[in-house]
Chains A and B, each alone.
Chain A
Amino acid sequence: MWKYIVRRIISGLAVLLGVSVLTFSLTFFTPGDPARTILRKQMGGRSPSQAAIERFREANGLNDSIPVQYVNWVTDVMQGDLGASYHSETAVTTLIGQNLMPTVELAVAGLAVALVVAIPTGVISAVHKGGRLDYGSQVLALLGLSMPNFWLGYLLMLVFAVQLGVLPTHGFGTFGHLVLPAVTLGTGMAAVITRLLRSSMLEVLDEEYIQTARSKGLKERIVVYKHTLRNALIPVITIVGLQFGYLLNGAVIIEMVFQRPGLGSLLIDAIFARNYPVVQGLVLIVAVVFVVTNLLVDITYRYVDPRISLGGGGE
């Protein structure tokens, strides 16, 4: 297994290199002068002088050729320096650090909501296939998938904040501030997992070993939760892993609606402000998150289903 992990890490590094080249190229091939945009934003919409633009370009190395800028950036990254924001001296790593925990907190809470809702619903739906509970849960899953999450966010605010007055509309820092964003974020993912788990459960329930288990006289609860659910979870883990990657990369809309700090808002602000060091640093971190999450998902397979061999056999 260690060989497999090392191989995956090497291929992951290649992916990161590709991502960095692509991000760097895209940001610099976008038309228009970033120096003018950044200074104009800082000046509240006023036009900066040509001298100010030149000074800014010089100070931030924007007069160097793009390959030189890229090599300088990669050299710094190898030393753990993602550069500093164009708007201040603040290091990109500091900005990411400030925004990472709120994002992780929201992603974990959203995932928890999704799993708490989706696993029982998916199981009940599969076990009662064709019954009212099944149709009911499928309708709910369809609703969860169809509702735009910003709309659901406003709806939850209207009910739980404005009408019932039990939760705040926005903000960050307490458990109460986390509830509505987590439910909003978790709803869509719960719908995906419910549908996936239902179909996966149905497949497994048709397997011969399940019929054998039943014929041995095992209780239905044991058959469903021990023998069926465990095997049906494998595709769910893949989706959860990938979805968690997306969540960590920032639930931008939810961060905006509930006014939460996070990596998503940071990235969007940086893109619009043409704050290249922040964009490049964040995209690199996002790529790392995806590479690591995928690796962890693959390793988790092994523990869920020991029949799965990592690295092409021999384990």
Chain B
Amino acid sequence: MAGNKLNRRTVLKSAAAVGALSIAGCAENTSGNSSGVRIALNTDPTAEVWNTHGGITPYWTNVMEPLVWVNQEMDTEPWLATDWEQTSETTWEFAIREGVSFHNGDKLTADHVVYSFETLLSELAYAPGWLRLEGPESIVALDEYTVEFTTTEPFSVFPGNIAHNMVCIQHPDRNPDENRVIGTGPYQVDEVVVQQEVVTSSFDDYWNDAGQVDELVFEVIEDPNTRSLSLENDEIDIGMSPPRSQIDSLESNDGVEVARQETAGSCYGGFNLYDAPTDDPVLRRALNHAVDQQLIVDTILENVGSPARVPISPTIYWSAHDQVDPYEYDEDTASSLVEESAYGGEMITIVVPNDLVNGRDIAQVLLDDFTSVGVEAEIQMAERAQYSDLVRNGNGHLFLDTSGSNSGAADYVIYDSFHSDGDVNQRRYRNEETGVQNLGGEVDTLIEDGLQATESAVKEEKYVQAQERMKAQAVTLPVYYDEFVAAYQSGLEGVSFSPIPEFTSWTSLEK
């Protein structure tokens, strides 16, 4: 027995050998799948908020599709609906595309559309207000391929509003508890690993151009540095939003390409037009001239994005970016305007939500620029819910935030922020007949006209006029237009992103 007794040395040697073998075993398969494409998102595609969609995100995955699509110009285009018509002030008829198959083989009909909308309305507290639909009677199947929607109020942008991945069509057999997702998209779900990944494969019976890559795997890597290292290690093929500081080195890396896409988002400061000293348009113009947006883009944003002229991104076709001249950065002009204004040395409070990326840094540049033209300023960082209260109560002078559209109806971007009855201004407008960022009067009318316009040209004309008037009165201090960046292995072809990146289609992707 003595010969078989384990001594310390033997145990240590065995432990070392087991450790080495384990690590060697791990060495297999640390890089990505060779036939499919692995896409690293910065949010969890299986997060619990997606239970209504069967347990996976309707963004990015191309598994579920809406009735209406948003194209590169941020305009709507037929998708699962081939046509739509406004039949009265509050009713819309949608013709559903024939010959579309769900991933379980069933054919798409109007009943599936009714089911999908009713599910959204019953499971998401905000859906009725968002979609302007209330109760089952607001969605009715007129025949096998026609659905009638009745909105709670006249809502001319209804088709654009439902051009959104969350308003997608699902089969009633979907089951969030089992992560059974049944859509009509070019990719179908093969496997869901909660909090990790969604594995999809190309759907052979897809009604449109099918995906060229057999398998797409969407995984979550929240940390941007880890996404970048995973790309270098060949564990993933596409990584969204790499760290800004690494974009240059990724672009110079032979094996990696970098895609850039201007989004429908922008960052700007909205002035409080009803409290001194920012109730003075001359001071607001001075502050616009005082800020060097290019410097912010070059330094803080590391060249991701571009200097803004208006609060609406130029990717939205009715942005007035091309129609207005910017307030050129000019300290002398700014200083003379400050002298000319009614400014009497008051402290200007710049309010910044603490979840705004680089918000404090940008606010610090604004503060320095204001100070250099003789205007005192301070920064107030606020948690998001507190920020919402501060801006709606007009507690502050300049409210810095981002804004953008994630649907085909970008109208809410201008309405919510600049119409007197919009979300930002409504509280003070109704209580005190003032507001925050709303000029009121003619601008309200132009925004209402733009909102009601069904023709793109008319909408553009009205909204551009509203933005021109807002620019003349320096209602905002535009900072930058947002840009989406993704890095991918150079062996991939057909990588291109939508202005709403989450709407990106992967069917043109090739490996």
Contact surface of A with B, Cβ cutoff 8 Å: 30-34, 36-37, 39-49, 51-52, 55-56, 59, 85, 87-90, 95, 98-99, 154, 157-158, 161-162, 165-176, 179, 256-259, 261, 272, 274
Contact = CB atoms under 8 A, between A and B. Distances in A.
30 contacts: A30-B385, A32-B383, A34-B385, A36-B385, A39-B125, A42-B124, A43-B130, A45-B402, A46-B412, A47-B423, A47-B424, A48-B129, A52-B125, A87-B49, A88-B48, A90-B48, A154-B226, A161-B235, A165-B31, A166-B27, A169-B235, A170-B226, A173-B193, A175-B26, A179-B22, A256-B222, A256-B223, A257-B223, A259-B221, A272-B355
Interface string B122-135: 00111011100000
Contacts, number: 154
Interface residues of B, number: 50
B406 A46 contact: yes
B51 A90 contact: yes
Nearest to B195: A261
Most buried by A among B220, B223, B235, B386: B223
Contacts of B355: 272
A259 B220 contact: yes
Most buried by A among B48, B130, B225, B386: B48
A255 to B, nearest CB: 9
Nearest to A42: B49
Contacts of A59: 125
Interface of B: 22-27, 30-31, 47-49, 51, 124-126, 128-130, 166, 193-196, 219-223, 225-226, 229-230, 232-233, 235, 355, 383-389, 402, 404, 406, 412, 416, 423-424
A114 B51 CA distance: 40
Contact of B48 (A44, A46, A87, A165): A87
Contacts of A158: 229
B30 A165 contact: yes
A166 B23 CA distance: 7
A165 B130 CA distance: 48
A55 B129 CA distance: 10
A77 to B, nearest CB: 21
B178 to A, nearest CB: 14
B40 to A, nearest CB: 9
Nearest to A58: B125
B23 A274 contact: no
B384 A37 contact: yes
B385 A33 contact: yes
A36 B426 CA distance: 15
Most buried by B among A39, A95, A171, A261: A171
Given A48-B126, A175-B22, 7 more contacts: A31-B389, A33-B389, A36-B388, A41-B49, A172-B195, A176-B30, A257-B225
B3 to A, nearest CB: 22
B253 to A, nearest CB: 12
Contact of B226 (A44, A56, A169, A172): A169
Contacts of B23: 166-167, 176, 179
B404 A45 contact: yes
Q: What are the 8 closest A-B residue pairs judged by CB atoms, nearest first?
A: A32-B385, A176-B26, A49-B129, A47-B423, A52-B126, A261-B195, A32-B386, A37-B385
Contacts of A49: 126, 129-130
A46 B500 CA distance: 14
A165 B229 contact: no
Contacts of B385: 30-34, 36-37, 274
Contact of B388 (A33, A157, A171): A33
A134 B275 CA distance: 67
Contact of A32 (B25, B389, B424): B389
Contacts of B406: 44-46
Contacts of B49: 41-42, 87-88
